[in-house]
Amino acid sequence: MTRQLFAEPSHDCPLCPRLADFRTAWRVREPGWFNGPVPTFLPPEGEDAVRFLIVGLAPGLRGANRTGRPFTGDYAGELLYDTLIRFGFARGRFEARPDDSLELIGTAITNAVRCVPPENKPVGLEIATCRAFLTPTIARFQNLEAILTLGTIAHQSTVRALGKRIADYPFRHGASQSVGAVRLFSSYHCSRYNTNTGRLTTEMFVGVFEEVARFLARQHAEMS
């Protein structure tokens, strides 16, 4: 419980004034939406079951900001959760709403920035401020073996949260690097923009998950 409290901001977190103001404006405009810092999505077994953590950028305005669950309500979630189910990191059916039958398996999903930013673009100070939650989020998973970062900002913030220098762990799609006891994997973000422009294809995204799955399988075999 203590680990969780330090890792999750309050629903009315005031630390980033621009994001708090944007959130407040959307609460007036859409009072039925979640409109708050989106909490980490965990498997039913809880944080000690997590071996694999996915770190995205920030909630989408009409996606996670609306639904309250990471990558739920926009295209990025369709690609991500379909891929998670394919590789056994999730089960059930993804229906783009938080009360669907989807459950994670040994996996957790969070964002480098917990609140929706205007135009989907957090500024540097907001990214740094929200690392006060990303760092303990990573630390709460005592059995964590692999992290996948989606996009440059998520990657760099995760590297900093792990206490390392960005220059030593540069972002590159499809790369993986050991950072202490954790293996850090990187992918372009699974946004509709990246897939529509061809920067990220489904095959490229699946390829990253193949590498993650192989790594975790080797880890499991070594411990058996």
98 belongs to a structural domain:
yes
Task: Tell me the pLDDT tens digit for each residue of 2-57.
Answer: 455 578 999 999 999 999 999 999 999 999 999 999 999 999 999 999 999 999 99
Query: In the beta sheet, which residues pair with residue 41?
Result: 109
CATH number of the domain residue 189 falls in: 3.40.470.10
10 belongs to a structural domain:
no
31 belongs to a structural domain:
yes
Residue with tokens 């920035």: 113
1 belongs to a structural domain:
no
195 belongs to a structural domain:
yes
Contact yes or no for 148/208 (Cβ under 8 A): yes
27 belongs to a structural domain:
yes
How many other C-beta atoms are found inside a 10 Å radius of the C-beta of residue 176?
16
How would you classify residue 96: left for phi > 0, otherwise alpha for psi between -120 and 50, otherwise beta? Answer: left
pLDDT at residue 223, rounded to an integer: 76
4 belongs to a structural domain:
no
pLDDT at residue 3, rounded to an integer: 54
* Count: domains in the chain: 1
Residue with tokens 């708090």: 20
Encoding tokens for residue 219?
């880890």
Query: Please, which pLDDT band fits residue 222 given cuts at 50, 70 and 90?
Result: confident
Task: Tell me the pLDDT tens digit for each residue of 76-106.
Answer: 999 999 999 999 999 999 998 999 999 999 9
12 belongs to a structural domain:
no
Dist CA 190 CA 178 (whole Å): 23
pLDDT at residue 193, rounded to an integer: 93
- Residue 117's domain comprises 17-223
Helix (H) or strand (E) holding 206: helix 202-223
CA atoms within 13 A on the CB side of 2: 0
